[in-house]
Amino acid sequence: MKRLLYALLLAVLLLPSCSRKKETDHGAIAAEAAKHYYENLISGKYKQFLEGMNLPDKLPESYERQMLENFKVFAKRQDKEHKGIKKVSVRSARFFAKDSTASAFLLLHYGDSTTEQIVVPMLKKHGLWYMR
């Protein structure tokens, strides 16, 4: 399911460029993947957020539970301090071809009308983008 989602996302991003023979914007693709992961986080899909991280395929069960709990605590803190994260948008991205990495600059839009820019380091692995 996850691979199908990424393949679909990649196809949607690449379709407009096919007719123009424009070079693929890997930074934009990485940024959209990061945005998708953070949208999972703010909608309470903590397991999907965890799957977007560059981690070993098999994690110890206790470590996975701890990570998922940390995500819940983070979300609760954002609710308390900023009335939650209401939206995530892409500000910009930088792609580094040498090592197939990117920096995705996202904006978190809070319920109290403030925004915060975060940098999400990304890594392309087996054709998919993961958070480092």
Low-confidence residues of the chain: pLDDT under 50: 4-5, 7-8, 12
Cα–Cα dist 32/28, whole Å: 6
- Tally of domains in the chain: 1
CATH number of the domain enclosing 42: 3.10.450.50
Q: Is the CB of residue 106 less than 8 Å from the CB of residue 90?
A: yes
pLDDT 10s digits, 9-46: 555 455 555 555 678 999 999 999 999 999 999 999 99
Q: Is the CB of residue 106 less than 8 Å from the CB of residue 91?
A: yes
pLDDT given for residue 18 in this prediction: 52
Residue among 43, 57, 42, 24 at smallest CA distance from 130: 57
pTM, whole model, 2 decimals? Answer: 0.81
* Domain interval for residue 44: 2-131
